[in-house]
Chain A
Amino acid sequence: MQVPKKHFPIVGLIGLVVVAAAGGGVYYYQFVLSHATVTYLPSHRLVFMTAIVQEERGFHITNTAFLNQSNLPKFDSTSGASMTGVNSTNYRGESDNKTIDAHVGDMITFYIFGENATSSDPALHVSTGHGFDIVGSGSFTVNTSANSPGILGGTNPANPAIPFGKWYSVTVTFNSGGSYTYLCSIVCSPLHGNMNGQIVVT
């Protein structure tokens, strides 16, 4: 039998601190913090897209980001959104570059650049731009402002919402869950009817 010399019980004390920390940690995280439901804080998303006739790609998301500030980036239809000095975080969207995910209460600002078809086929040059509209079973609100002046649903081929070579911006808040479709609202090519994408709000 080994008899310990009298010493400061450092190992015992550290051991007790570890035991207390383990028990206390479990108590705090399981019984003090609430786990009842998973809630998402509403976020403001920026979705950057290009719009070209469906034969050549249709709508295509080029980047997605969370806006981490209350005011929108400066916008004009020639140069688009000025992201210099804007506090935002990029995130990865769906791999098809068409589907947009969001949570109920999220605000989405779309920045869409209109592109003319590269093919010389006259059937792909029947309009001077594209339109933009959102349809779906749930409810949503359009928030028009100086830095996101766009409205939904223009159908006049002579005055398109997204003229070729220009930027368009619209801001929408999704108030209820469900699947929404965004689409081109101006007849622009033979496959115009397929020029759309999904917004999945959970």
Chain B
Amino acid sequence: MAGQTNAKKGVLDPIIALLRWIWDRLERTLLLAIKLVFPSRFISPLGFLGMLTVIVFLILGVTGALLLFHFQPIFGDCPPAAANTTYVPAPTCNSAFNSVASINNQVNWGFLIRNIHYQASNAMVLLAVMHMFYQYFAGRYKLRYEILWVTGIILGVVTIIEAYTGYDLIFNIRGQLAINIGQTLTYYTPVLGANLAQIIFGFSFNDLTIRFYAFHVFIIPIIMLAIMSIHLPKNLVLDIPVASAITGMILILGGLFPVEVGVRYDPNQLTQITFPEWYFTSLYAFIRTQGLQPFIAGAIIPGVFVLIFTVVPFFDRGRKIAMVDRPFWVALGVAALGQIAIVTVWGFRASNPFQPLLTEGQLLIDPVLFTGSLLIATALSYGFVYAFVRWRRAKLDALRAAKKPIPYRKVQPYLLTKGEVYALLGGLLLLQAFLDVAIFRAFLDTLNNFALLEIGMVLVAFAATVHIYRVGAQVK
């Protein structure tokens, strides 16, 4: 019959036709404008750290949404205050903390979700910082990526603020320390200080809780999404094994180092010494430095640091991208990393840096010791790296002048044999099957840490399986 084809009809044809129909219509949407590349071989994750940050952002969105079902942004107002008395809320009125404790201890799966949310927040900050430094050292902003660079820096700062509002919401003493510092810094803002503090922190504990809740779950994420719409490039690399491994590692960390609820914040009691999250200890060190004005320590210094990074692409105008051709900028980047490292460590230490911070008497840091160590670390890291890059450059120039080939080590790829591929795939599948049983048993025995750790291990094992499979596909 005319028009009939010889192609065999398959049972899946209607489904394939439906998928094709949907795909054709999706081309009218924004969704397919983003070009996702799924690499068929291993490529360094350093090149797509940004995409990994987005994946962690999605994990935070999903786990955060689940936490919303049980979190109560309430503090105070119980029992009602008597007229004409100074109202001091009872510690039991810290419903925000109580609800977090309930999520952690009573709500089904609550422990898992909260731990994933916490570890993912740390991972997002870390990945964002790593992403920024990789792009900086690789000189990517020279390839007409200046707008991506600037929006990226803003996105990084907003990410830190988002993390800040998040851990304040627990209303434990660590949250209280962060709130107190944030509020004090805002008050010290010239001219606008008092008004700004009232707008952000409100007039009471209840105001504060509900405002930070609004910032954390809606206002800041919306701002982040808006900036992301400019920051995301059109071409994105989505390496499923690496994304799966990162997710798995977040879960494993949650299982191994479960986050504690902490000590409940009671406004009637003096609190113990505590620390901010690790990404804020640097700021904490500046604030604790004797004689430094709070606004200068907490706002101007970090502000200048961020500003320098923001304007880098507009000063580093040379055409060359390789690190060996940019000694000044590479040394500057390493010096910045050195600064961040030493100041972060200072934040955890007492006035005597060889002692941990335990009592209030140890809070103040000696400015001479602090700035001295900071300057020495910066100067040394800058000097050594600058000299090293210049030496490398001179060596390459000498070779080029002598018309000698530039030596570089060619790494021979290790090719898996067929036997290795089968053995590894078999072993990994067995491991996953065993882990599935172990997870099931862990839930029956309410061993939450084990369950979280093992789900993470399954994701890492899945990543390894997919990777070995794609490597194995190239082996005869």
Contacts and interface: CB of A to CB of B under 8 A. Distances in A.
B24 interface: no
B40 to A, nearest CB: 13
B454 A20 contact: no
Contacts of A11: 414, 416, 420
B447 A35 contact: yes
Interface stretch (B84-92, B155-163, B368-376, B423-431): B423-431
A19 B431 CA distance: 7
Interface residues of B, number: 36
B424 A19 contact: yes
A1 interface: yes
B430 A1 contact: no
Nearest to A3: B476
A78 interface: no
Interface in A68-119: 92, 95-96
B442 interface: yes
Interface stretch (A22-30, A147-155, A173-181, A194-202): A22-30
DSSP majority for the B interface?
Answer: helix
A26 B441 contact: no
Contact of A12 (B417, B431, B476): B417
B427 A20 contact: yes
Contacts of A16: 423-424, 427
B457 interface: yes
Contacts of B413: 2
B476 A19 contact: no
A150 to B, nearest CB: 29
A23 B430 contact: yes
A183 B445 CA distance: 44
A15 B431 contact: no
A3 B141 CA distance: 40
21 contacts: A2-B413, A2-B475, A3-B476, A4-B416, A12-B416, A12-B417, A12-B420, A12-B421, A12-B423, A15-B427, A15-B468, A19-B424, A22-B461, A23-B434, A27-B438, A30-B442, A31-B441, A35-B445, A95-B270, A95-B272, A96-B269
Interface of A: 1-7, 9, 11-12, 15-16, 19-20, 22-23, 26-27, 29-31, 35, 92, 95-96
Given A4-B417, A30-B441, 9 more contacts: A2-B413, A2-B476, A5-B415, A16-B423, A19-B427, A30-B447, A30-B450, A95-B270, A96-B269
